[in-house]
Amino acid sequence: MEAVERVKEYMKGTTTVGLTTSDGVVLVSDKRATMGTLIAHKVVQKSFIIDKHLAATVAGAVGDAQALIRWMRAEARLYRMRKGEEINVQAISTLMGNVLFSSRYFPLIVQLIIGGVDKTGAKLYSLDPLGSAIEDRVIATGSGSPYAYGVLEDAYKENLDIDAATKVAVRAIRAALERDAMTGNGIDVIKITKEGAVKLSEEEVNKLIETL
């Protein structure tokens, strides 16, 4: 019960979105970190490139999230060194789920979206603090996710290309920014295609927002 209460205490803020597209994956997040009703930080990174073909978004405790991302980056590099090829999206999601499950009695308070493009195509997984890893095509996490899903259910289509899907994902995050007090202070965007993962600059994100 203590573990469950700790999860409930920390899993309150943030909005992140992941979408699969006809040619890749897009991951989008806000930048606000909260401590209760206090806006603790306004420039928090919640979207991370793990390897050249992999990225993730995080919601939850910042320290837990940063530690997990560092760990997975190291595992992806080690896999590439040992096997001579990149780790696939399902494998890194399973590995991270195992890490979360092994910590269930003192859980790492994070919810993640992991996405990437490997030999099997574009893949997207949702992971919760107790270790489940579930594949999906549309995922939103955090306190603003109900508002984000309202946009996604209406605008997302499986045949969207990555540029069109990016606009849908940014619209979903903007809906959360407008209605969820724990979401805000800007938007981060990562696009992943067979050419690799790229994080958009603040200027590129602002230009994108102007077209919506």
Please list the active-site residues. 14
**Bridge partner residues of 142 (DSSP):** 15
Provide the token pair at 125.
Answer: 């997984």
Sheet holding 133-135, edge to edge: 47-51, 54-60, 110-118, 121-127, 133-135
Alpha helices in 37-128 (DSSP H): 62-83, 89-102
Largest CA distance in the chain: 48
* First-residue to last-residue Cα distance in the chain: 44
**Residue from 157, 176, 164 nearest 57 by CA:** 176
The Cα–Cα gap between 44 and 62 comes to 9
The Cα–Cα gap between 26 and 7 comes to 27
Provide the token pair at 129.
Answer: 């603090």
